[in-house]
Amino acid sequence: MTRPRNRLVLGILAAAAVFAALTAPRAAQAHPLGNFTVNRFAAVELSGDRIYVHYVLDLAEIPTLQEGPRVRRPGFAREVAGRLVLTVDGRRAELEPLMRRVRSRPGAAGLKTLRFEAVYRAESAGTSLRLEDRNFGSRVGWREIVARAGRGARIEHSSVPARSASRELRSYPRDLLRSPLDVARADVRFRLGSAAGVAPGLVGAAPREHAGRFESLVAHDLTPGFVLFSLALALFWGAAHALSPGHGKAIVAGYLVGSRGTARHAVLLGGIVTATHTAGVFALGLVTLALSAFIVPEQLYPWLTLVSGLLVVGVGLAIVRTRLREVRHARAHAHGHDHHHGGHDHHDGDHEHGLRGLVGLGVSGGIIPCPTALVVLLAAISLHRVGYGLVLIVAFSIGLAASVTGIGLIAVTARRAFGRMRFDGVAVRALPAVSALVVLALGAAMTVRALPGVL
Amino acid sequence: MGALAATVLALGGALGESGRAPAAAAAAAASPAVAVDPAAATKRLVSSLQRRLRVDGQDADALTRLGFAYEQRARETGDPSYLVKAEGVLRRSLAITPNSADALIGLGSVALSRHDFRRALRLARRARAQAPYGSAALSVVGDALVELGRYGEAFRTFDLLAARKPGVAAYARVSYGRELIGHTGAAIEAMQLALAASAGRPEPTAWTSVQLGKLELARGRLDAAARRFRAALHVFPRYPYALDGLAFTEAAHGRLRSAMTLSRQAVAAAPLPQFVGTLADVYELAGDRGAMHEQYRLVGAIEGLLRASGVRTDLETAQFDVDHGLRLGDALRLARRAHRDRPTVDADDVVAWALVRTGRCDDALHFSRRALHLGTRDATKLFHRGMIERCLGHDGAAARWFRRALARNPFFSLRWARIAEEYAR
């Protein structure tokens, strides 16, 4: 029973490796804007009642060589803030660095290029602001500023667009009729909201609200130690994720195995959950990647959330239907208990139900890609670390499956230990129906939350 | 330095005198020389042409003019991505009207900027065949011929240009020719005419001012040179060629702090090997060997990048390496390759210098003779000849060459002038 599962996991891993090789950015590629450019991007982010500035530097090969050590220094974020002049209602506003990240990538001729990102918070009040970027003023390069608002904050007038033409210095337009952007100043009239502001994250395509610990793994510098650590962490989070409230599937699966199955069934269930979950995330990731040629991930994500929300609703409905049929079946069975061939029928059907139901449950438990896992994948794609993201998701899925299997095994063992004790109190019997409703509610909530992003 | 001059100017001439930027010239002339943004006129021209082309993408004339305007932006910003765009729109224009002389000239000057001189010559000759009495093609033809070492033909072309269309492009080229044959005074006169003719256009004004500064420097007049460089910075703030020139004069005066600041600004604006070389020399004079070696590494990286991007010939990097005693074996190979693609007197001199530095003084003498055959009185070339004669054991001749170099320009090099003084005694 374990061999096919191993083969499946190996197959997925091999596919992931090929996939990663195909999508990894080509090394030894010269910087698209010429190898001595320093490219600058600033986003004024008005979120709820707060003003944030998200700043990105993309240094080509030569500036990386010249300025790399300075840019890598922890104090550099503050240096940048000193030349990033933000005035709110005519008064200079201090920019306080919240987070920073520096990453280097292979460039042409064995040299490296460097990407620096930082998020700043400004004291927040007022109705008009001006942002002036004086960093690397004498350097040649792309200079872009955007201004965007969310969580109740509004932009009334802005001298700069809300959307980045370079995807935040990730891809520069090659349109012959467009000059390289050279915007070093933005004037914005705005109204802040009353909701609490949320700082923009540094995970690129990932939705800002979701940026959590698991997601941040993918953005970290990759040392062997860190990779091992992150794999262990992903396993642990997968396991914890299965146990977290709202995931009725673990309990349902545990119940099924506990009441009728064996230890083997428990392991099988775990395998199915891992495989389905991994495949589900991969499939969604592939779709995202295919579509990302036409749409940027930032635009795609709300749709994806909507689709997965609807998917969860669908699965929830299917489970509810199954449960209803089961209840009806159980009632009918109770009425005709005395009939001999009815009893026989019951036994046969039960066996069928055991295996098919087990697979079905495993699949339905795994098919809903956990938003966290999807975010990891999307973040990995946006950071050009697809292979690493996939490996993390496999680990996450295995952790998830381990939890499900563990519950199943405990139930099986418990049943053996307590012999006559049966898991069929009213509460336990109601549990499958309740968890189906929970899945349904979860899907509905996901769908509703995705709607504002799409409309 | 001279080699670069003609290349850069070709572009200025092609756009500047085609009468195609009247709005730009008028706008700049109306305002005093301290323009807020010296590139404002070009920027406006670019965006109005872009707007027109968004309406009608098949407007070949607008495409060609946008190509020239992008080339001008490349000169103003030092941003090479404008050259890529220029080439793109000029190609599109040529596809719509094959054999358009203007589009061919534009592509020719892009080729000059890329140091593909043979291609530039081919394109400009095609343009001449289409418009035999035009003048713009002559600039590109002449510049390509100079860089290919065909001086006789080149000078005849420049004379024809000056006869047909006297203006910045013609005067500056005449000046360059006079400098090559050793008539610096006359070269300065011609360049002053070019400066007067470029009035109202910040970038050409800055460019001609820098050329005048270099000519003053060539005859050892530091203060006159510095004045010219400052004038260039006045019309075009942060113009890297002027920053580099001024850094040199400051360093020659021993004002190392100010030289360092200026040189760093020049390198930041455009990390060209010659600017990095100045910075390295300033650091060396200041005794900061760590910073000096950093600049050496930087030039090494630039060489690697040029090789990776398919530019095989770079005289400037070869010259830097030889001057600083870096990777000498490679530098000789690099210099010979550059000489093959660009057989100028400057290339002759770099090969000669590389040969001396690797101890092959007989061969070096042959190249040095060629480097000086036009009558050039460039102190650097005279000094190199002195080093060759010294290496061959001709001490008397060597001392004479060193004295000639120093008489010409006692500040010819931050690194080597002291050595010339020592050997001249």
The neighbouring-strand residues paired with A185 are A132
Residues B140 and B204 in one domain: yes
ipTM over 0.85: no
Domain residues for the domain of B333 are 327-425
B320 domain residue, yes or no: no
Given a contact cutoff of 8 angstroms between Cβ atoms, the answer to whether A337 and A343 are in contact is yes
Please give the torsion angle defined by the CA atoms of residues B332, B338, B340 and B345, in that order, rounded to the nearest 10 degrees. -90
CA A32 to chain centre: 29
Tokens standing for residue A22: 């195909």
Nearest to B241 by CA among B249, B250, B232: B232
Longest alpha-carbon distance in chain B: 72
Asked if B134 reaches chain A (Cβ–Cβ under 8 Å), the answer is no
Residues B7 and B145 in one domain: yes
B316 domain residue, yes or no: no
Residues B12 and B103 in one domain: yes
Residues B141 and B21 in one domain: yes
Asked if B27 reaches chain A (Cβ–Cβ under 8 Å), the answer is no
Strand, coil or helix: what is A35?
coil
The tens digit of pLDDT for each residue in B356-367 reads 999 999 999 999
- Last residue in a domain, options B202, B228, B254: B228
Q: What is the CATH number of the domain that holds B14?
A: 1.25.40.10
Tokens standing for residue A8: 């499946």
Angle made by CA atoms B408, B167, B6, in degrees to the nearest 5: 50
B58 domain residue, yes or no: yes
Kindly state the helix (H) or strand (E) to which residue B403 belongs, with its residue range.
Answer: helix B395-408
Is the torsion defined by CA of B404, B409, B413, B417 positive or negative?
positive
Query: What is the helix, strand, coil percentage profile of chain B, to 5?
Result: 75, 0, 25
Per DSSP (E only), the strands in B68-164 are none
Kindly state the helix (H) or strand (E) to which residue A58 belongs, with its residue range.
Answer: strand A50-59
CA A284/CA A302 separation, integer angstroms = 13
Residues B275 and B191 in one domain: no
The tens digit of pLDDT for each residue in A9-43 reads 333 333 333 333 232 333 335 566 677 889 999 99
Contact A111 B270 (CB under 8 A): no
Residues B152 and B301 in one domain: no
CA A455/CA B20 separation, integer angstroms = 49
Given a contact cutoff of 8 angstroms between Cβ atoms, the answer to whether A215 and A376 are in contact is yes
Long-range contacts of A9-18 (CB under 8 A, 24+ apart): A9/A274, A9/A275, A9/A278, A9/A394, A9/A398, A12/A275, A12/A278, A12/A279, A12/A282, A12/A394, A13/A391, A13/A394, A15/A282, A16/A282, A16/A387, A16/A390, A16/A391, A16/A394, A17/A387
pLDDT at B12 over 70: no
Residues B305 and B408 in one domain: no
What residues in A contact B304, CB-CB < 8 Å?
Answer: 108-111
- Last residue in a domain, options B311, B340, B363: B311
Tokens standing for residue B241: 């060629």
Tell me, what amino acid is at B262? L
Strand, coil or helix: what is A247?
coil
Mean pLDDT, chain A, as a whole number?
Answer: 72
Q: How confident is the model at residue B353 (pLDDT cuts 50, 70, 90)?
A: very high
Tell me, what amino acid is at B263? S
The tens digit of pLDDT for each residue in A281-291 reads 777 777 766 66
Residues B301 and B366 in one domain: no
Nearest CA in chain A to B51: A177
When divided into structural domains, chain B yields a total of 3
B317 domain residue, yes or no: no
The tens digit of pLDDT for each residue in A359-380 reads 666 666 665 556 667 667 766 6
The residue extents of the domains of chain A are 2-21+216-330+338-454, 38-202
Residues B75 and B1 in one domain: yes
What residues in B contact A32, CB-CB < 8 Å?
Answer: 81
Given a contact cutoff of 8 angstroms between Cβ atoms, the answer to whether A144 and A41 are in contact is yes
Residues B393 and B270 in one domain: no
Q: How confident is the model at residue B122 (pLDDT cuts 50, 70, 90)?
A: very high
B245 domain residue, yes or no: yes
Per-residue pLDDT of chain A (455 residues; tens, 9 = 90+): 333 333 333 333 333 333 332 323 333 355 666 778 899 999 999 988 899 999 999 998 888 988 888 999 888 999 999 999 999 999 999 999 888 888 888 877 778 899 999 999 988 888 999 999 999 987 888 999 999 998 889 999 999 999 999 889 988 887 888 888 889 999 999 998 888 788 887 654 333 333 345 555 665 556 677 778 778 888 887 777 776 544 445 555 555 554 556 777 778 877 877 787 788 777 777 776 666 555 554 455 566 667 767 766 776 777 677 777 766 776 665 554 444 443 333 333 344 445 665 666 666 666 555 666 766 776 666 556 667 777 888 888 888 888 877 777 776 776 666 554 454 555 555 656 666 676 677 778 777 776 766 66
Tokens standing for residue B338: 């550059």
Asked if B298 reaches chain A (Cβ–Cβ under 8 Å), the answer is yes
Contact A111 B305 (CB under 8 A): yes
CA A149/CA A191 separation, integer angstroms = 9
- Last residue in a domain, options B282, B311, B340: B311
Q: Which residues of A touch B (CB under 8 A)?
A: 28, 30, 32-37, 61-62, 65-66, 108-111, 136, 138-141, 176-180
Contact B268 A30 (CB under 8 A): no
Cα of A106 to nearest chain B Cα, Å: 13
